[in-house]
Amino acid sequence: MLRRVVTPTPVAATTACAVQARSIYEYKFGQTPLSKPLGRLSHLSRATPSKPAPVVAGKVEVTKLHNGARVITHNLGGPSVSIGAYILAGPAYDPPSAPGTGAMMHLALTTSNYNNALFQLDRNIRSVGAAQSHFEKNKHYIGIRIDSRADKWKSSASTASRTEQRHQLQNQKQAQEQFSLNLVQDNIFTCIAAPRFHEPDVERFRDTIDNQVEELRWQYPAEYAKQMLETVAFYREPLGNPRHVPAISNGAISSSVLLEQYSRYVVPSRVVIAGVNVDHAALIAEYENTPFPHSSSAPHHTRSQPSKVNWQDEAAQYTGGERHDQEDRAKVMGTKPDMDLESIVAVGWLAYGKDRKMLKDHAASMVVKALMDIQFKDSIRYTRDETQEHAGVRAFYNPYQTAGLVGFTATADPQAAVRMVTDAVKLVQANKAAVADSTLSVAKKIARTQFMVQNADTQRDYCDYLGTCLAMESDSTVATSLEEVVDAINSVSAADVKKVCETMFSNKTSLYGHGEVLGFPSLRQMGL
């Protein structure tokens, strides 16, 4: 039997090998060299951490800055922060020749800017375990949000002490090797103030955008039907612009189109900076100390004036109508072994929006949606979308600014789809009659719970709510709090529900169907 013999290695040789092995990782990408201790405190002196003082949740603070941007924060004292920029440049402001520009815009803003390349922005996020999201909100807003630790969102210049800054100036080599993290400044504020819209950066995501639309259409058909219903209900109107990038517009939205759209709508007066668990003054200082200040007097902004969109009377944009898209889903998807056919239908009516001036009607619209949940035997929904639902009838309510769309989606076999839709419409029409007090009380509780879960369950949701709760007037600093909406829901009466139902059924019904819809009747044939 052979036995392995290990010869002891001298300590000096071991240390030399360790240094040699470690040096191969020092590629000078800007990170702290591995030959230096991690952290600011030396490993030789470990001070006993002091017990942190209890943080009392502050109030919501709103400030309008000198350049027109508005900052809203709520410091709850949590260990992580959410900071986002919400811009009035959503799908409702897309140019008629390029629908989907708003959906492309929030992606293009995060690719690169005049201070950082794409890989540098990605490195900023990964270096501290942060998360970045970009999205559209309520058809009017596009957003960029950063979620990170509470001690990692500030720029290095503002977080370092004077002694450390003086030491860095004395030792220029160490200052070059030190990784300078400006997370929020680089990944949000500079992206808004000085984007590049580099054509190769935009081109690399075109396939991804097409794949996202295809995945939405074939894997989440109910959510796709909801989004397409908006294009039917507000046909050729600003609210009828798609939330996604249509395949026909993907190649037309070039770098020059994005730059023109940016120059028109991404101006400071249309930007809201929101933060949760951050100090209000610190967030303002971070924004104002951005390397590229954002000014509406810049030549590209003064040269391009935004087109006026009448958001104060969005109900006038409602047209109603219907559209059927025949699809052989079983053949295209290839994931149905029995080649089962299915029909997906979305039906909607005009409702009220979330503007502060119609807060009571907005609350009543949420209660009507909750009444539909009760009639459809549905439960409390934790998300607005339909990405987790695959069959049955589901109610929805999409609020915009002064208008909304309330209705339901139905997913079933083609033989049962017609009866399912007609029965669901009859249940909804029954709300025109007097609603029992007991049923109304349950509906208000459901509406209140759904509203709080969708807007305050996580700090990310709450940050999105803060960024979109200010009045759309650029000089307004009045925010609609969660408590005001909850109080409005609690005060909804049967008369308020009847008012919403009268608005719904005094306008044309909208319908969108896809899948197996060759035999599906029209609205006129169904008596709608």
C-alpha angle 308-138-314 in degrees, rounded to nearest 5: 45
Quick one: how far is CA 438 from the chain centroid?
Answer: 36
Q: How far apart are the first and last CA of the chain?
A: 90
**pTM for the whole structure:** 0.84
**Sheet bearing 70-74, strands edge to edge:** 61-64, 70-74, 271-276, 80-87, 141-149, 131-137
Query: Bridge-partner residues for 404, per DSSP?
Result: 351, 399
| Both structure tokens of 496 | 């308020």
- Residue 109 is which amino acid? L
Distance from C-alpha of 196 to C-alpha of 36, rounded to nearest angstrom: 36
pLDDT per residue of the chain (528 residues) written in tens, 0 to 9: 455 544 454 544 444 454 454 444 445 555 566 666 655 544 444 555 555 555 566 799 999 999 999 999 999 988 999 999 999 999 999 999 999 999 999 999 998 888 888 888 888 888 888 999 999 999 999 999 999 999 889 886 555 555 555 555 555 555 444 456 789 999 999 999 999 998 888 888 888 889 999 999 988 899 999 999 999 999 999 999 999 999 999 989 999 999 999 999 999 999 999 999 999 999 999 999 998 999 888 888 888 888 888 888 899 999 999 999 998 887 787 666 667 788 999 999 999 999 999 999 999 999 999 999 998 887 555 555 555 555 688 999 999 999 999 999 999 888 889 999 999 999 899 888 788 899 999 999 999 999 999 999 999 999 999 999 998 887 788 999 999 999 999 999 999 999 999 999 999 999 999 998 998 888 888 887
Query: Bridge-partner residues for 273, per DSSP?
Result: 71, 85
Is 268 within 8 Å of 295 (Cβ atoms)?
yes
Domains within the chain, CATH numbers bracketed = 61-303 (3.30.830.10), 313-515 (3.30.830.10)
